[in-house]
Amino acid sequence: MFIHWALREIHLKLVYYGPGLGGKTANLKYIYSKIDPALKGDLVMLNSREDRTIFFDFLQLEVGQIDGKKPKFNLYTVPGQVHYNHTRKVVLNGVDGIVFVADSQREMMDANLDTLLDLEKQLVMQGKTLEEFPWVIQYNKRDLPSAMPIDEMEKKLNLYGVPFFEAVATGGQGVFSSLKAIIKQVVANVHSQLGQAERMRA
Ligand SMILES: Nc1nc2c(ncn2[C@@H]2O[C@H](COP(=O)(O)OP(=O)(O)OP(=O)(O)O)[C@@H](O)[C@H]2O)c(=O)[nH]1
Ligand SMILES: [Mg+2]
């Protein structure tokens, strides 16, 4: 979280995290295509020639008000490919909320698990834990024939019973429900942090 007191703006960082090709960039593309231009910035995508994210995607949204301040949600995706570990760490720095985009295809379950463990490790390095941090799970690619049943995926991935959503990110199904749910969690969290920040400033 970053507070610009003069402009009365709060910047909050949401990161889409998950295995390579799981559909993180597809989420941002869909959100970008549906949001009123007055409430969004440009969609910045840093891709390889094969359309894989090599650094991050970025989109800024303005959403309502928190305690008289304008919240700006900065949405990022990380590169899912295993060898971009350092980049994920950089993008994740200062994160306020996470949408974990899992790939529902059965053959991707190991990659989902490895990526979730990797996420937990990165959070611990920032002094946070998955148990206490705002995050939601999006089970993406529900349209594919090898999609695992949700309750099986839940048992493997949803260790802390966080909100979860079924999605087909390319068609938009589940994209806004996931986004709204993470915003809700982050806003609830911010209220308590804001109180502390105001007191430290006084
Ligand atoms: N069938 C289907 N395809 C999807 C879905 N979501 C994404 N895709 C496709 O999967 C491929 C990868 O999607 P991306 O959004 O680029 O995946 P990513 O998670 O950003 O991948 P990295 O940037 O490499 O980490 C693309 O060809 C998408 O069109 C989905 O729900 N269903
Ligand atoms: Mg991507």
Residue 174's CATH number: 3.40.50.300
* Distance of alpha carbon 78 from alpha carbon 89, whole angstroms: 9
pLDDT of residue 189: 87
Our mutation pick for probing the ligand 1 site, out of 15, 16, 21, counting the most ligand atoms within 8 A of Cβ, is 21
For 13-21, what is the mean pLDDT? 97
Structural domain for 61, as ranges: 2-201
In ligand 1, the atom with minimum distance to the C-alpha of 77 is 20
Is 90 touching ligand 1 by the criterion CB < 6 Å?
Answer: no
More confident residue, 196 or 149: 149
Does residue 34 register a pLDDT over 80?
Answer: yes
* C-alpha radius of gyration, the chain, whole number: 17
Is 80 touching ligand 1 by the criterion CB < 6 Å?
Answer: yes
With the CA atoms of 121, 147, 50 and 165 taken in that order, what torsion angle do they form, in degrees rounded to the nearest 10?
-60
Which band of pLDDT confidence, cut at 50, 70 and 90, is reported for residue 146?
very high
The strand pairing partners of 60, in sequence order, are 74
For 149-157, what is the mean pLDDT? 98
> Are the beta carbons of 109 and 118 closer than 8 angstroms?
no
Q: Is residue 139 helix, strand or coil? A: strand
Residue nearest to atom 30 of ligand 1 (CA): 141
| Side-chain-facing half-sphere of 67: CA atoms under 13 Å | 16
Identify residues whose C-beta is under 5 A from ligand 2, the ion. Answer: 24-25, 53
pLDDT of residue 4: 82
Q: Give how many domains the chain has, as a whole number.
A: 1
